[in-house]
Amino acid sequence: MLLAALIVLAALTRVLPHPPNFSPVAAIALFGGAYFANRSWALIVPLAGLFISDLVLASMHGGLYATWFSGAHIWVVYGLIALTTLMGFGLRGRVGGGRVLGYSLAGAVLFFVVSNFAAWLGNPMYPQTLAGLMASYVAGIPFFQWSVAGTLFYSAILFGGFSLLRARLPALRLQTV
């Protein structure tokens, strides 16, 4: 039930009006990596939410969305979400506020650095020079602030909410999801 709820949450929050890049997908990836007993499900849940919302966004926006997220860049995005899940494996058994904050920030920075590098490589708008690379990073800054805010917000809700549930439900104390 929780797995389905997280997939729906990820898909809905990307489709409903929101600031750009303010999404729970990275937080769900970290949470899944930290808590899902089955590591395969930890990878599948955020990727499924991302995929479902991509399908909905593509149908809503047609060619514009499909063109913007076509090619290698989309594989970079999916790869980064999978990598964020793998980062979450490092939180297993060691979840705490400081660690969740650090991993959330590290995931957001990694996403920014790698996805903007990929945009520079794959977008003819940016010249293949150091100046073009810097331009791609500068263009990404407005989105980065929302990515960090979204990851921190949803990480606080997921990890904090689960911690509160564990305190109230003894069955959750000894096991992961």
pLDDT digits (tens, 9 = 90+) for 126-136: 999 999 999 99
**Paired tokens of 53:** 């919302």
Number of domains into which the chain is organized: 1
Of 122 and 106, the structure prediction assigns the larger pLDDT to 106
Look up residue 1 and give its DSSP letter: -
CB within 8 Å of 125: residues ≥ 6 apart: none
3-state secondary structure of 70: coil
Does 153 score more than 80 pLDDT? yes
Does 174 score more than 70 pLDDT? no
Q: What percent of the chain has pLDDT over 70?
A: 86
Q: What is the mean pLDDT of residues 73-88?
A: 92
Q: What percent of the chain has pLDDT over 90?
A: 50
Please, what sign has the CA dihedral across residues 122, 125, 129, 134?
Answer: negative
Q: What is the domain extent for residue 75?
A: 2-173
Mean pLDDT score across all residues of the chain: 85
Res 67: pLDDT? 47
Does 50 score more than 90 pLDDT? no
Look up residue 38 and give its DSSP letter: S
